[in-house]
Amino acid sequence: MCGIFGYVGSRRDAGTLVVEGLKNLEYRGYDSWGMAYKPNGSIVVRKDIGKISDVRSEDFGAPCSLAIAHTRWATHGGVTQCNAHPHLSCDGKIAVVHNGIVENYGPLRDALKTKGHTFLSQTDTEIIPHLIEEEMKNTADFAAAVRGAVRKLDGRFAVVAMHTDSQSLVAARNGSPLIIGAIKGATQGYCVASDIPAFLEHTRTVQYLDDGEMAVSDGRGILFSDIATGAERTKREIEITWSPEQARKGDFEHYMLKEIMEQKESVARAVNQNEEQILTLAKAIQEARGTFLVGCGTAGKACMAADYFFSVVAGKHVNYTPASEFKLYHRFLKPESLVIVVSQSGETADVLEAMRVAKSKGSKVLAVVNVEGSTIHRDADYTLLINAGPERAVASTKALTGQLAVLLLIAYALAGKLRDGRTVLLETAAEINDMLNPRYVERLKKLAEKLKDCRDLFIIGKGWNYPMALESAIKIQEVSYVHAEGFAGGELKHGPIALIEQGTPCIVLAGEDEVQQDILNNATELKARGAFIIGVAPRKHEVFDAWIKVPDAAAAQPIVNIIPIQVLSYFLAVSRGKNPDMPRNLAKSVTVK
């Protein structure tokens, strides 16, 4: 959720810099925005509701070298100017931005009120500058005061603070991500952000804060330490391979369409894995006594599809569980178990919780992630990167197909057919390149125009296309706000078919596989009740009223079948006047439970 960006260093345009960086993080939260900087030795705060993308960066050009900023996705308190970050102490000398949830903010707030503190917002965040202010009654060391304050917080948090009388930026983390960007050379300085794209145009050299750590920088150097003990920590520098161009929209109107089209290359990058590493992971799965697939939302649907991959391709039984439900399965875990977690950001709160449950039982964890150096990437026993590059749209597209490709590759390796799997996936990547041509995209745009006023839309699939039916519904719901539901084709007669009326659009996901005839029979049942049947399949069938052609991709069929639905979802959103990059009530990374 929410985006944080701070800067301290030798540059004198810190206000402009953090506002520009915040615009690169708007996908993390866009209810409201705010920033604090020191142009004349005292803290000036500017904040408002709405999108940071509508704000002129040059309006914050007053000379200064220290600033913090935040773009908000509301959790505690409504979307108001008062609730926007940064929040200040009573004396106005301390400004704080914060991601996460302070679970014990109620009793802390009550205790602060008894000491005379006044609160102006409904947020849990506002207690933090007041706690720091209390700590500074006992010390003149700003960093020590921040340490004392955050030690009182329960829950997941990322905090960045500044003080009128200090030229240092102080950051602390427990559960919510914070990354340091080290700018070297003539314009030396340090950035702290919740995600890499915030500072990617300034530096690719990063250092990651781990849970229970804090960092203090005056712009010339940086000191890492343990929050609880104060002991110094040494952090290695990592060079990020992403380029600034990858994180920009380029000539596309929206990030979502750009990232859909990037699947021409991103699937092939996902397949480009070290052969020995894949075989090592396949062996770990083979030897495990109980293997679990765990993910949330779209990544969860990739896990669900992988359940079929392991069954059909490798003859191996694995168990899929949504990450938010996984802790209830702890009784089945043992040291010989393996938990495969999937996440785009590598910071998903429920997935991190699932990893903690697994490790508490001594189980090993294999992570399939997109962001190198993320918490999940660092904490897992084994890791595979999907190499999709930065994904900025809230709706995940290229990360999903990268996850599917990697999981399918592992299934082939488990079956002793790694080379066959690589061939299937590279051929699929080439087919995607051919498929996503201007004429194909235009046909989907016209279909979206035809469907834009529909009240309900249903999607059915069978086998590994069933999880893609569920994912199709997620895509349509989250960006276009059309009521969409996905079903297993065989479940229609157990209730959902009652929803079908004359003209109800129903998408059928099919392939050239053993369940093809079953799903076509299900489509026929829908059509007999008046449904308008849209077929996504390698061949046109009589039951289809409209046909979206896709390649025959064997076990990779889920990858090619979901892509036209992504495009259709995008154009449904645009035709209905919605911004597909920033769906209401949603943010890119779910870093709070």
Q: pLDDT tens, 267-318?
A: 999 999 999 999 999 999 999 999 999 999 999 999 999 999 999 999 999 9
CA-CA distance, 525 to 523, in Å (whole number)?
5
Q: pLDDT value at position 23?
A: 84
The Cα 505–Cα 473 span in angstroms is 13
Q: Residue 459 is which amino acid?
A: I
Please tell me the CATH code under which domain 3-247 is placed.
Answer: 3.60.20.10
Active site residues: 2, 588
- For the chain, residues with pLDDT lower than 70 are 1, 29, 76, 243-247, 587-593
Residues of the chain with CATH 3.40.50.10490: 249-436, 447-580
Of 11, 61, 60, nearest in space to 220 by CA: 11
Residue 359's nearest CA partner among 385, 373, 344, 338 is 338
Q: Which CATH class is domain 447-580?
A: alpha beta
Check residue 245 and give its pLDDT.
63
Rounded to the nearest 10 degrees, how much is the dihedral formed by the CA atoms of 169, 172, 176, 181? 40
DSSP collapsed to 3 states, 405-452? HHHHHHHHHHCCCHHHHHHHHHHHHHHHHHHCCHHHHHHHHHHHHHHC
pTM (predicted TM-score) = 0.81
How many CB atoms are located within 10 Å of the residue 185 CB? 8
> What residue spans in the chain does CATH classification 3.60.20.10 cover?
3-247
537-567: pLDDT as tens digits: 999 999 999 999 999 999 999 999 999 999 9
- Start-end of H helices in 238-348: 255-261, 263-271, 275-287, 297-314
Distance between CA atoms of 246 and 388, rounded to whole angstroms? 10
- Which has the closest alpha carbon to 298: 432, 393, 395? 395
Q: List all residues 6 or more positions away from 281 whose beta carbon is below 8 Å from its beta carbon.
A: 366, 382, 384, 410, 413
Which architecture does CATH list for 249-436?
A: 3-Layer(aba) Sandwich (3.40)
User: What's the pLDDT at 226?
Assistant: 95
Number of CB atoms found within 10 A of residue 40's CB: 10
